[in-house]
């Protein structure tokens, strides 16, 4: 589970540090590619959100590759899949989310349709 563009997760004991380090690495790589002479990198909320999304994509890619492939080609998840009972679907950002009756509730989108993550995955 090595991702060339992401830091080594074993070096971090804290989720926030991992996300901040990922955002800093991305900023540094972008600065090197554009050849701008920047000595100071400041992180924005958008940088942190993007870093978190990168880890979510990586986690789902490692654990649910077949399911993502099926859903991206507008096919159903196999009944033998361990997430079949969650009624998974792929959102506009390419993340697997849960569908269910909770959609009728008065709650934020993130509560009504949570992202599917494998509890055994190191992320």
Q: Where are the domains of the chain?
A: 9-112
- Rounded Cα distance between 98 and 90, Å, is 9
Q: Is the pLDDT of residue 83 over 70?
A: yes
When computed from its CA atoms, the radius of gyration of the chain, rounded to whole angstroms, is: 17
Rounded to two decimals, what is the model's pTM?
A: 0.80
pLDDT digits (tens, 9 = 90+) for 23-79: 998 888 888 887 766 667 789 999 999 999 999 999 999 999 999 999 999 999 999
């Amino acid at each position: 589970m090595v991702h060339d563009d992401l830091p080594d997760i074993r070096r971090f004991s804290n989720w926030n540090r991992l996300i901040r380090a990922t955002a800093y690495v991305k900023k540094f790589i972008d600065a090197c590619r554009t050849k701008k002479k920047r000595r100071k990198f400041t992180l924005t909320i958008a940088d942190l959100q993007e870093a978190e999304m990168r880890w979510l994509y990586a986690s789902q890619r490692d654990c649910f590759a077949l399911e993502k492939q099926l859903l991206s080609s507008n096919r159903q998840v196999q009944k033998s899949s361990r997430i079949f009972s969650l009624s998974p679907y792929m959102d506009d950002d390419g993340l697997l989310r849960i569908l269910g009756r909770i959609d009728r509730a008065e709650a934020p989108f993130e509560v009504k349709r949570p992202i599917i993550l494998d509890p055994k995955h190191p992320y």
